[in-house]
């Protein structure tokens, strides 16, 4: 048993929900607790979460679902469409609980958080981690694993180790007498910050394990993996380089894009889809309190179907005055789309991105636009209108009020043929408990 630490050196915990999306489905449907289960990406495209039983059947991450349909049926695999209303809400509950264990928390993704833990007299951090795990499971039904280490990169590895090799679901690097021996057993590609490309490159250079990477000289690492790679290596050596970000910095760009549920071929449908994505982008922009100074639109055909004629195009426009006003952005996006849209293609995807984001309260006015236009662009009525729109939609649900340009039927919208109810966020879809 590791002893309570006497020093003030920070210890990082990485808490990661096990098979998060599957665990969310299971929390509300006990009948699938031991059934092989998968969750698909948007548009029911590929597998993005697998239960242990599904993994054991050999179902891979990111496998296209349509190729596995027969297999799923044959093995009784339960299949779910992504239900982000549910996962987002469950995530918030888990994070609330974790936040009560440490004020220094970074919510790193929908299913992961880093915590900086302070040693408590008379109690080991492993013990504390076990309590976190118990509490989250008891209060939400979501199983989590915890890795403890002196750096975030090592905490990631410790978490990985906890999932694979412990029954407790908790692993503390400090409890390990020989960290080098452990790093020797970990493939370099499993290190946080080393993706597929770098892993291939490192293997070609004779670096196969986390230990070997850790022992390369700084200049060797920086030349091949850039400054970021060097930070990763220093963290493997136990030297913290990547701080906790407790307040996430505002986004520098915001995108909305979707694959279509079926190919889009007409101008009218494409215009509707791009307008709808723009409206969504504008909402996200306002939620962050930002305005955008440029708009980008892209459209593309399906490159998985080489027998179809292929086309893809992107176009960007600078706005004279940064804006988060939906009609202004829709107008810009429509102009861009008009410039790149070609008939005769079966489009599979489109998207809208805004960039050059500034805080709404400190935006630059245009030098070039003569009065009264700057006043018009700053019309306070625009802001008031958007506020009202967002308020109504927040209260009564998304798209209670929407722009006509974004379409009503949305025949191009994504497939979601296996969606579970929004158990926790919709009154009409609450789970029903039957008293025996």
Binding site for DNA (CB under 7 A): 41-43, 45-46, 48, 62, 64, 66, 108-112, 156, 192-199, 222, 226-228, 249, 251-259, 262-263, 284, 302, 304-305, 348-349, 351, 353, 414
Least distance to DNA, CB of residue 103, Å: 23
**Nearest CB to DNA, comparing residues 140 and 256:** 256
Least distance to DNA, CB of residue 434, Å: 35
Least distance to DNA, CB of residue 248, Å: 9
Least distance to DNA, CB of residue 131, Å: 23
| Dist. CA 346–CA 257, nearest whole Å | 17
**Nearest CB to DNA, comparing residues 128 and 202:** 202
- Name the helix (H) or strand (E) containing 21: helix 20-28
Least distance to DNA, CB of residue 1, Å: 29
Strands 312-323, 253-264: pairing kind:
unpaired
Sheet containing 47-50: order of strands:
47-50, 37-40, 78-80
Question: How far out from the chain centre does Cα 331 lie?
Answer: 29
CB 73 within 8 Å of CB 39: no
**Nearest CB to DNA, comparing residues 2 and 193:** 193
**Nearest CB to DNA, comparing residues 166 and 417:** 417
**Nearest CB to DNA, comparing residues 110 and 175:** 110
CB 173 within 8 Å of CB 36: no
Least distance to DNA, CB of residue 180, Å: 21
Strands 312-323, 170-172: pairing kind:
unpaired
Q: Which residue has the tokens 């790193």?
A: 108
CB 48 within 8 Å of CB 162: no
For the chain, the residue count is 436
**Nearest CB to DNA, comparing residues 128 and 136:** 136
**Nearest CB to DNA, comparing residues 197 and 381:** 197
DSSP code string of 204-245: HTT--BHHHHHTS-HHHHHHHHHHHHHHHHHHHTT---S---
Least distance to DNA, CB of residue 394, Å: 18
Q: Which residues pair with 256 in a beta bridge?
A: 352
Q: What angle do CA 290, 294, 295 make, to 5 degrees?
A: 100
- Going by the DSSP 8-state scheme, the letter that residue 52 receives in this structure is H
């Amino acid at each position: 048993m590791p002893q309570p630490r006497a020093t003030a050196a920070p210890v990082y915990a990485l808490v990661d929900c096990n098979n998060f999306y599957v665990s969310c489905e299971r929390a509300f449907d006990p009948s699938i607790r031991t059934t092989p289960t998968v969750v698909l990406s948007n548009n029911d495209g590929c597998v993005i979460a697998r239960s242990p039983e599904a993994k054991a059947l050999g179902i891979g991450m990111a496998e296209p679902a349509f190729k596995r349909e027969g297999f799923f049926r044959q093995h009784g695999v339960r299949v779910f469409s992504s239900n982000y209303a549910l996962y987002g809400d469950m995530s918030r509950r888990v994070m609330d609980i974790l936040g009560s264990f440490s004020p220094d928390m970074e919510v790193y993704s929908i299913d992961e958080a880093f915590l900086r833990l302070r040693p408590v007299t008379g109690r080991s951090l492993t013990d504390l981690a076990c309590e976190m795990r118990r509490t989250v499971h008891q209060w939400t039904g979501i199983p989590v694993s915890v890795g403890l280490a002196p750096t975030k990169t090592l905490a990631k590895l410790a978490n990985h180790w906890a999932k694979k090799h412990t029954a407790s679901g908790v692993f503390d690097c400090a409890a390990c007498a020989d960290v080098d021996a452990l790093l020797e057993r970990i493939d370099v590609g499993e290190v946080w910050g080393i993706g597929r490309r770098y892993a291939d490159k490192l293997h070609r250079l004779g670096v196969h394990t986390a230990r070997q990477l850790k022992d390369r000289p700084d200049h060797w690492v920086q030349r091949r993996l850039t400054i970021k790679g060097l930070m990763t290596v220093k963290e493997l050596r136990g030297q913290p380089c990547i701080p906790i970000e407790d307040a996430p910095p505002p986004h520098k760009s915001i995108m909305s894009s979707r694959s279509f549920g079926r190919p889009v071929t007409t101008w009218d449908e494409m215009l509707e889809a791009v307008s709808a994505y723009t409206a969504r982008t504008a909402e996200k922009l306002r939620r962050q309190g930002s305005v955008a100074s440029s708009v980008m639109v892209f459209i593309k055909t399906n490159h998985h179907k080489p027998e179809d004629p292929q086309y893809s195009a992107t176009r960007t426009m600078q706005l004279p005055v940064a804006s988060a006003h939906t009609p202004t952005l829709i107008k810009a996006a429509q102009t861009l789309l008009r410039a790149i849209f070609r008939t005769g293609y079966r489009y599979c995807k489109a998207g809208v991105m805004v960039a050059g984001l500034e805080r709404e309260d400190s935006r630059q006015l245009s030098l070039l636009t003569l009065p009264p236009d700057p006043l018009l662009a700053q019309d306070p009525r625009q802001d008031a209108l958007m506020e009202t729109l967002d308020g109504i939609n927040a209260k009564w649900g998304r798209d209670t009020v929407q722009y006509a340009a974004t379409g009503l039927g949305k025949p191009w919208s994504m497939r979601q043929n296996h969606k579970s109810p929004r158990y926790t966020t919709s009154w009409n879809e609450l789970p029903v408990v039957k008293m025996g």
